[in-house]
Chain A
Amino acid sequence: MKSVALHNPLAKVLLKSFTFLLLFSLSFNAVAQDAIDEARQKDGRKLFKSLCASCHKLDKKFIGPALGKVEERRENDWLKAWIKNNAELRASGDKDAIAIFEEYNGSNMTAFPQLTDENIDNILYYTTVGEIVKTPEPGPDGYAPQPAPEAPKWLIFILAGVIAAAFLIIASLLKTISELKGAPKTPGLWGNSVELWEGLKRNTFLHVVGTIFVLLLSAYILFGALFTVGVDQGYQPVQPIMFSHKIHAGDNKIDCQYCHSSAKHSKHSGIPSVNVCMNCHKNIAEVADNTVVETEDRLYSKADLDKEIQKLYDAAGWDPEKLAYTGDEKPIKWIRIHNLPDFAYFNHSQHVTVGGVECQKCHGPVETMEELYQFSPLTMGWCIDCHRETKVDLKGNDYYKKVHEELAKKYGVEQVTIAQLGGLECGKCHY
């Protein structure tokens, strides 16, 4: 597709409208989509995402200009020359090249001499056709299939109730019929119960057993209730920014310790400072298209999520238009989820660096959590259980060499547990 210089303005307008219509139908008309070469688009998209996306977007100006349908504005050869080595092109005195360089305050674009012409054509093809929107296959009547509505749970109970009532009615009817037929009148269900109750009332043994049972049961329930005081398992407060661990740790596979970097050095895992967020978010001002986050009480669309990123910019004092820090910083007041009481000392680095414990062991499947919650009970019993069972691999750590050898001999085991190392002593965590 090589653009031709059109001198007739009318023809230009017509052609533009036509192209627009064509593209419009390309994007939204499923039939027209057949015309797209998906392989080329896919290759171009991949290259664009890996090489260009940190500075360019299709639909709007970013660090560099918007690239959607750039081929309509520039000639293919010029684009190839620019992409391969823009500095050279500028040095050759190309006016357009110098103009665009100056328009963007002289910020240098990386040269990509490694790209072949085909690569570049594919990228340009992607900028022209854009994303392929996969609409669901229409059913025979032309409508997309709807998910079957799920029956609400209360319906089951109502049904069960109706069935039980029906059985009772039937039983009662049968009884009446047999009585009418002349069967002797038996004491009713009620009569039987009264008799049974009278019997029970006179049986002292049952009284004692019953009392003991009731007392034990209430003690059990009371203790169970008291032991949950201060245990906040499942605590999931609403955070000032809707931060999805799923998007970061799950979809984008960012290492936990990239952000929580002090976990390997310190007792605190540390909530990342805003500058750590900005390492990436300087270039990521919006979430990927079609991202949707569903939490318990609300659904976040792309627009909602982009607003959340804007909150981050407010905190960092970052102006996404001018791409500069304003200095007006507002620290984020996160709500702390994992709260240990002051009298319990816990050290992340001991577990992460020395013990090699996976973060998920205590914090659960964080990479699947849209909104973070407290996965473990964080009770002392929970700590102790793990210390009793866990046999940590201490090989290669000279600190443990001698002590492990001696303890293993003393306890007659291959590998000692944390408890055998002294991990159950009160003073190891309470001081």
Chain B
Amino acid sequence: MASNKKYWQSVVEIENASIVETLSKNEFVEEIPTDEFLGDKETLENSSTSRRDFLKYVGFTTAAASLAACEGPVKKAIPYVVKPNDTILGVADWYATSIANGQDFANILVKTREGRPILVMPNKEANGVTNARVQASVLSLYDEQLRLKSPKKGGEKISWGNSHKQIGEKLNELKEKNETVILLTGTLASPSTEQIVSEFIAAYPNVKHVAYDAISESGAADAFEAMFGSRAIPNYHFDKAQAIVSFGADFLGDWHGGFEKGYAESRNPDSGKMSYHVQFEANMSLTGANADKRVVTKSSDQVFALINLYNAITGGSLPSKSTPVDAEVKAAAAALKKAGSNAVVVSGSNDKNAQLIAFAINDALQSEVFDAANPLQIRQGNDAEMAQAMADIKSGKAKGLITYNVDPVYNSVAGLAEAIKKLKLSVAMSVQDNDTVAASEYVLSMSHYLESWGDVSISQGHYGLMQPTIQKLFKTTQFQDVLLKWSGNTNSYYDYLKGFWSSNILEGQSWNQALHDGYFKKEVAASVSKSSVDLNAAASALRGSVKGSGFELNLYSSTALGDGQLANNPWLQEFPDPITRASWDNYLLVSYDDAKKLEFDNPVKDNGAINGNYAKVTVNGVTIENIPVMIQPGQANGTVGLALGYGRKTNLKEDMQVGVNAYPFYANGQNVQYGATIERTSGPVHKFACMQVQKTIAGRHDILKEVSLKDYNDHSIDPKHTWNKPAVVSYDHEEVEAKTIDLWDAHNREIGHHFNLSIDLNSCTGCGACVIACHAENNVPVVGKDEMRVGRDMHWLRIDRYYSSEVETREEALEQGFRGGDLFKVLETSAKNPSVTFQPMMCQHCNHAPCETVCPVAATTHGRQGQNQMTYNRCVGTRYCANNCPYRVRRFNWFNYADNNEFDFNMNNEYGKMVLNPDVVVRSRGVMEKCSMCIQMTQATILKAKKEGRKVETGEFATACSQACTTGALAFGDVNNPEEEVTELVKDKRAFNVLDYIQTKPNVIYQVKVRNTNEA
């Protein structure tokens, strides 16, 4: 039957409904303190400015301003001397390339204008998947603050020639003495680079190559090596999955990476076999938020639950113990067995033994989802080698260190910075400045991936090519060119790459075609031999790893910053975390119960911002003070969470030096640390920039609809009367469908194009790629932490996260007869493990738009193609429209965000401005702005068709968000074209409008979320 769930966004809503109500009713809960300055008679009387003077000043400034406005500035236009043949001014060029920065690996498309990359999109033809960080990586290209601009020695500039000469001499000296030099890189995953590295090692046998990942997945690789003989991590084809059981693996987040597309494919209810996903986890992760069943499980219990699951599936008897979640494990085992070879089990632990057991379960299930034959190449870090290398450097056994795009000093190898300074040779090759660069003697400035040639092998047989999309901005070169030079190879890397591909990869296929496509796929004869592993020993070792009392600390990588290499990227800093909805921060996540015990609190201020307390956390003798605390529904009691990747300081803009560095806790690359002690520190409150409480639903609880898979598949139920019931109103004392009553005249929508956007709540994983794509495409400004805190964020597209539970408000609990202690208990219970729904929300482009009616200057009007158009130059900033918008999607420019030192982000410097889209205006102060349904993109598509004298083809229309979405949750198109996907979706039985009882008739439609409750 229809879900009776109610949705809420914050624990405050259920705990203290009064403040939410006050907030929703009253813009200023406290009186505005005008008396402070107007009531102070003394100050007013002593003021040297009389009323007459004041009027004079006003008069003069007005006159001066109008006079100054009379004459326009002289603008210069400087054409090329020799124009490149394939560049047409004002027309975008797209290049297919790849990103491979050690953390994110994907086939992407890059849009360039006049030789400047301005937008990154997934290369869908190559199955490219982009997350928020990949979308935002284009801005880091223009990071003039952090990027290294020329080679340096000891902080002084040095020429390339001299640096090569001096380093070459030192290398030879070390080679003669046969003293070890460590070459430390992240995961390269580049076949040609790996070859170059091996040639370099052949020339200098004293060099040892060590790869490590800042956020380690070495355990999976170790397990894979033990089981299958080669070092890699298995691939998972979630599109084939029918049952997924995950133990703390955030595979929709950063665990391995790039699975959201396949996952969404398996979650299509119309295919008839929607997968069933159970997540056992301690932190609330993106993956857990999407799961059908989320079982709150302490990290230590996950270990035993995994072993218990193995025992349940195989009937084995590995040593384990009972856990509070045994019943759920049993149910999960049944579901897995039912799905047979379409079942898969994943574990997020970085412990080799945990991975071994997970692999063994998949093996027992004969899982087709689990692919060991074509493993992923994108995590090659080896923790054991890394630890040895660092020990050698600290002990002085190794005499040289060459790093490439890694920051082991920031990643908290204790005492490393001092050890590097004592080395005979220390070279840091890096795109950006960081702590390791600061410690090294020689610093070689590297090109950004958008300026470079390269290749990447994402999984076996799936390659990507990387090509420059811009001239080098600074005096930089490529890692590969440097190594070739040092090895005495006179070829440029480009020639080397071309040669390498034609002899090793292309098999006679065209290089130009591969470069044009940006990817190359070939069948690799895959056969793996599985060797038997002693699982008993593994389970015993795993048992032994669980130790200590106290709290369990779960370190995770946040959706926004990941391992922290993009920490100076304002788009990502401002990106609200999908779960907590907080930006510009990391924080200690604690459960509701623990917060109460430790007296942590998240009070909501009357301006809609939330505050927090600070905690002092000690793990294994490492103490970090002043970590702000956020109470997280769904956090397992006895566990806390903390994001890595924050707290970077070296040369970062002051605004970006936010959060605490959690790497000191990250001992042995284990994301779970046992035995943490936590205490509340007295002191100032922490001010969060969180969008959580600001967007209270204010009682309008039919924002979301969801249905169980069972009801969805039950054709005897009419959705119109049950789970997708349209709003009804009373008319002539009769209940009629709201859509039959109308205040406005209907628009004629049949001629020309009529755009609709369909958002499938079932496929949306909340990853936020669309949010950043919208940022980049529409020149959305960054406003900074303080403005975010008071609800002045400028995101045109946000992803609302709604928690839901059966009993939601005090009143409801009272109604159901809860009294006294029970009353609070039931509210607490509901907050312990809410289910989560993500809802992308942008201007709904209402055909009967409330905003249009109230604008006094007709600055917002309706277009024939369905857009609600916003004319900035007409807007006078009354903000009536925003007040009258039921969806709260209109954004007001409180300040000039461009060329303003108060907002020192990308729009305040010449490099950062290069990322701006020339087709969209940068809005100025005092105007309202909002989603335009990417009218610049639809207009460009139409113009292209007109110029070619043809109709617009099916599927040609797109918006930035629909282009960036790889799960297919966002579908955009012309509903007057019967062949468009969206035309079908509008009529789908899952389609509904948000707040349909107001009958704004939006052009954005949503598809009801289907949850697989695994019933019959």
Q: Is the CB of B81 within 8 A of A336?
A: no
- Contact in complex: A334, B77 (CB < 8 Å): yes
Contact of A427 (CB < 8 Å), options: B90, B920, B935: B935
The minimal Cβ–Cβ distance linking B183 to chain A, given in whole angstroms, is 39
Decide yes or no: A274 and B82 within 8 Å by CB, A232-B72, A265-B91 being known contacts: yes
| CB of A310 within 8 Å of the partner chain | no
Q: Knowing A265-B91, A266-B90 touch, does A273 contact B83 (C-beta < 8 A)?
A: yes
Binding site for A on B (CB under 8 A): 66, 69-70, 72, 74-83, 88-91, 750-752, 859, 861, 863-865, 867, 869-874, 919-922, 932, 935-936, 939, 942-943, 945-947, 949-952
On chain B, the residues within 8 Å of A343 by CB distance are: 872-873, 921
Partner of B863, one of A270, A335, A402, A427: A427
A-B contact pairs, 12 of them (CB 8 A): A229-B69, A232-B72, A268-B90, A273-B82, A331-B78, A335-B74, A336-B76, A339-B72, A342-B921, A402-B951, A403-B752, A426-B859
Known contacts A334-B78, A336-B75; is-contact A430 B871 (Cβ 8 Å): yes
Once bound together, how far apart are the Cα atoms of A271 and B79, in whole Å? Answer: 6
Least CB distance from A107 to B in Å reads 23
CB-nearest residue of chain B relative to A235?
B72
Distance from A398 Cβ to chain B, minimum over Cβ atoms (Å): 5
User: A339, A398, A427: which contacts B932 (Cβ < 8 A)?
Assistant: A427
CB pair A267 B90 closer than 8 Å: yes
| Residues of A within 8 A of B (CB-CB), count | 56
Note all chain B residues with C-beta closer than 8 A to A237: 74
- Tell me whether A315 and B89 are in contact in the complex, defined as CB-CB below 8 angstroms, given that A399-B945, A407-B751, A427-B932 are known contacts: no
Taking the complex as formed, is A95 at the interface, i.e. its CB lies under 8 A from any CB of chain B? no
Give CA–CA (A397, B77) in the complex, Å: 34
Q: Is A425 a contact of B90 with CB atoms below 8 Å?
A: no
Query: How far is A221 from B25 in the complex, measured between Cα atoms in Å?
Result: 48
**Per DSSP, are chain B's interface residues mostly helix, strand or loop, or mixed?**
loop
Find out whether the CB atom of B871 lies under 8 angstroms from the CB atom of A275: no
Known A230-B72, A425-B863; contact A399-B951, beta-carbon cutoff 8 A: yes
| Contact, CB under 8 Å: B88 / A266 | yes
Q: Indicate if the CB atoms of A229 and B70 lie closer than 8 Å.
A: yes
B76, closest chain A residue (CB):
A333
Could you tell me if A353 and B947 are in contact, using CB atoms closer than 8 angstroms? yes
Interchain CA distance A251-B828 in the complex, whole Å: 87
Residue of A nearest to B77 (CB): A336
Q: Other than the known A274-B82, A333-B78, A354-B943, what 12 A-B pairs have Cβ atoms closer than 8 Å? A: A272-B79, A273-B81, A274-B79, A275-B82, A331-B80, A335-B75, A335-B77, A336-B75, A343-B872, A403-B752, A426-B863, A430-B871
Choose one: A274, A406, A407, A431; the contact of B921 (CB below 8 Å).
A431
Check if A350 sits within 8 Å of B946, measured CB to CB: yes
Judging by beta carbons under 8 Å apart, are A268 and B89 in contact?
yes
Interface check A422, CB cutoff 8 A: yes
Chain A residues whose C-beta falls within 8 Å of the C-beta of B945 in the assembled complex: 399
How far, in whole Å, are A47 and B579 apart by their CA atoms in the complex?
Answer: 82
B873: chain A residues at CB < 8 Å are 341, 343-344, 430
For B75, list chain A residues within 8 Å (CB).
335-336, 339
A124 on the B face (CB < 8 A): no
Closest to A230 in B: B72
From A262, A274, A347, A403, contact of B88 by CB (8 A)? A262
Report yes or no: A274 in contact with B81, Cβ–Cβ below 8 A.
yes
Q: Would you call A428 an interface residue if the criterion is a C-beta within 8 Å of the partner chain's C-beta atoms?
A: yes
> B89 touching A270 by the CB < 8 A rule?
yes
Instruction: Tell whether, in the assembled complex, residue A274 and residue B80 are in contact, meaning their CB atoms are under 8 Å apart.
Output: yes
- Residues facing B in A163-199 (CB within 8 A) are none
Asked if residues B949 and A431 are in contact (CB atoms below 8 Å), the reply is no
Bound together, the chains give a CA A170 to CA B922 distance in angstroms of: 71
Query: Cβ of A330: which chain B residues have Cβ within 8 Å of it?
Result: 81
A345 at the B interface (CB under 8 A) = yes
List 4 A-B pairs, minimum CB-CB distance, nearest first.
A427-B869, A266-B90, A273-B83, A273-B80
Task: Considering the complex, give the chain B residue whose CB is closest to the CB of A380.
Answer: B873
Contact residues in B for A317 (Cβ distance below 8 Å): 81
A274 neighbours in B (Cβ, 8 Å): 79-82
Measured CB to CB, the residues of A under 8 A from B are: 229-230, 232, 237, 262, 265-268, 270-276, 315-317, 329-336, 339, 341-345, 347, 349-350, 353-354, 396-403, 406-407, 410, 422, 425-428, 430-431
B70 to chain A: which residues have CB within 8 Å? 229
Q: Is the CB of A345 within 8 A of B919?
A: yes
B81: chain A residues within 8 A (beta carbon):
273-275, 315-317, 329-331
Distance in Å: Cβ of A431 to nearest Cβ of chain B: 5
Q: Given A262-B90, A335-B74, check contact A398 B864 (CB 8 Å).
A: no
Bound CA–CA A274/B872 (angstroms): 37
Question: With the chains together, A353 CA to B83 CA distance in Å?
Answer: 22
> Which chain A residue has the least Cβ–Cβ distance from B84?
A273
CB distance from A343 to the nearest CB of B (A): 4
For B75, give the chain A residue with the smallest CB separation: A336
Instruction: Assess whether A275 is in contact with B83, with CB atoms less than 8 Å apart.
Output: yes
- Are A354 and B79 closer than 8 Å at their CB atoms? no
Which residues of B lie under 8 Å from residue A334 when comparing CB positions? Answer: 76-79
A335 to B78, CA, bound (A): 8
Residue of B66, B81, B865 with most partner-chain A CB within 10 A: B81
Chain A residues within 8 Å of B79, by CB: 270-274, 331-332, 334
Looking at B70, B78, B947, the one whose CB has the most chain A CB atoms below 10 A away is B947
Most B CB atoms within 10 A — which of A349, A403, A431? A431
Q: How far is the CA of A339 from the CA of B70 in the complex (A)?
A: 15
Min C-beta distance of B850 to chain A, whole Å: 18
Closest CB-CB distance, B59 to chain A, in whole Å? 17
Partner of B77, one of A271, A316, A402: A271
Cα distance A403–B748 in the bound complex, in angstroms: 13
Name which residue of chain A comes closest to B858, CB basis: A426
Shortest Cβ distance from residue A138 to the other chain B in the assembled complex, whole angstroms: 50
- The answer to whether B751 touches A262, judged by C-beta atoms less than 8 angstroms apart, is no
A341 → chain B, closest Cβ, in Å?
7
With a cutoff of 8 Å between Cβ atoms, the chain A residues found around residue B77 in the complex are: 271, 333-336
Q: Shortest beta-carbon distance, B776 to chain A, in Å?
A: 16
The smallest C-beta distance from A383 to any residue of chain B, in angstroms, reads 13
Residue of A nearest to B933 (CB): A427
Q: Collect the chain B residues with CB atoms within 8 Å of residue A339's CB.
A: 72, 75
B939–A428 CB distance below 8 A: yes
The complex places the Cα of A316 from the Cα of B873 at a distance, in Å, of 40
List, in ascending order, chain B residues with CB within 8 A of A232's CB: 72
Q: Which residues of B contact A331 (CB under 8 A)?
A: 78-81
A426 and B939 contact, CB distance less than 8 A: no
Cβ-defined contact, B874 with A427, below 8 A: no
**Bound-state Cα–Cα, A318 to B69, Å:** 42
On chain A, the residues within 8 Å of B949 by CB distance are: 396-399
A347 contact set on B, CB distance < 8 A: 943
Chain A residue nearest to B860 (CB atoms) is A426
Assuming the contacts A339-B75, A398-B949, A431-B921, asked whether A425 and B864 have C-beta atoms less than 8 A apart, the reply is yes
Give the residue name and chain of the B residue nearest to A353 (CB): B947
Minimum Cβ distance to chain A for residue B88 (Å): 5
Q: Given that A266-B88, A431-B935 are contacting pairs, would A349 and B943 also be in contact in the complex, using a CB cutoff of 8 Å?
A: yes
Contact with A426, one of B74, B751, B869, B921 (Cβ below 8 angstroms):
B869
Are the CB atoms of B950 and A398 closer together than 8 Å?
yes
Separation of A333 and B951 alpha carbons in the complex (Å): 41
Please, how many angstroms separate the alpha-carbon atoms of A354 and B921 in the complex?
24
B951 and A398 form a contact (CB under 8 A): yes
Closest B residue to A402 by beta carbon equals B951
Q: Which residues of A contact B936 (CB under 8 A)?
A: 345, 431
Complex Cα spacing A410 to B89, Å: 39
Give A329's nearest chain B residue, CB to CB. Answer: B81
Tell me the complex Cα distance, A223–B79, Å: 38
With the chains together, A349 CA to B948 CA distance in Å?
11
Contacts of B922 in A (CB 8 A): 342
Is B82 within 8 A of A427, CB to CB? no
Closest chain-B Cβ to A14's Cβ sits at a distance in Å of: 54
Cα distance, A68 to B398, chains bound together (Å): 81
* Complex Cα spacing A176 to B867, Å: 82
**B751 contacts across to A, CB distance below 8 A:** 403, 406-407, 410
Would you give the shortest CB distance from B95 to chain A, in whole angstroms?
A: 18
